[in-house]
Chain A
Amino acid sequence: GAVVSQHPSWVICKSGTSVKIECRSLDFQATTMFWYRQFPKQSLMLMATSNEGSKATYEQGVEKDKFLINHASLTLSTLTVTSAHPEDSSFYICSARDASSYNEQFFGPGTRLTVL
């Protein structure tokens, strides 16, 4: 149980285009989802927290207009990187939490974004 999937697993795009990454909880209802980014050889940095049906809460320094997060259902959250640039190239990982496991997050496999 507690499986989280991400799609796509990797994506290459041209500079200036937008990319959407999906995060799904497959066997539970995710009341909260988190989005992280991980640069090579670095740790995970929390970008934002999204609660189903509410606006996402972004961490300091994360541009909300550039990283659009939607959490329209209890099993799906999306991260859209708008007008992507090479410096946005990174590994993006989502995690999900249900109402009964407040202190545990289940992680997706990650999405590797490369912006040319």
Chain B
Amino acid sequence: AQSVTQLDSQVPVFEEAPVELRCNYSSSVSVYLFWYVQYPNQGLQLLLKYLSGSTLVKGINGFEAEFNKSQTSFHLRKPSVHISDTAEYFCAVSAGGTSYGKLTFGQGTILTVHP
């Protein structure tokens, strides 16, 4: 079984500042990693994903994440945030074995961008 831990439940930041949202996972098999964003009362939108290849993944809206296998991390970063980035962000993992194809989500990180 796999699990995901998002280390920060809330991250406040000022507009145009950089931000990092942390995500660690555990799994006994190879994993695929995802970051989703959720705006209030809406579904999830995929920001980016790591399936294989380059460990630095670029996504939409200027976000990027780096897969670090040795540290079992997949932190999300953005060099300069906007007010419109205020939302909740979920890290998720999909693994092999009996859980193949199923997504396990972290607890979510609420990003609040202040003017």
Contact = CB atoms under 8 A, between A and B. Distances in A.
Interface residues of B, number: 21
Contacts of B90: 43-44
Contact of A43 (B32, B42, B51, B106): B106
A103 B102 contact: no
Interface stretch (A12-20, A67-75, A76-84, A106-114): A106-114
B45 A43 contact: no
A34 B49 CA distance: 19
For the complex, would chain B's binding face be called helix, strand, loop or mixed by DSSP majority? strand
B71 to A, nearest CB: 22
Nearest to A49: B102
B46 A108 contact: no
Interface size class of A (residues with CB under 8 A): 20 to 34
A109 B101 contact: no
A55 B43 CA distance: 25
Interface in B26-68: 32, 34, 36, 41-46, 49, 51
17 contacts: A6-B43, A34-B103, A42-B107, A42-B108, A43-B107, A91-B41, A97-B101, A102-B101, A103-B49, A103-B51, A104-B34, A107-B36, A107-B46, A108-B43, A109-B43, A110-B43, A112-B41
Interface of B: 32, 34, 36, 41-46, 49, 51, 90, 94, 101-108
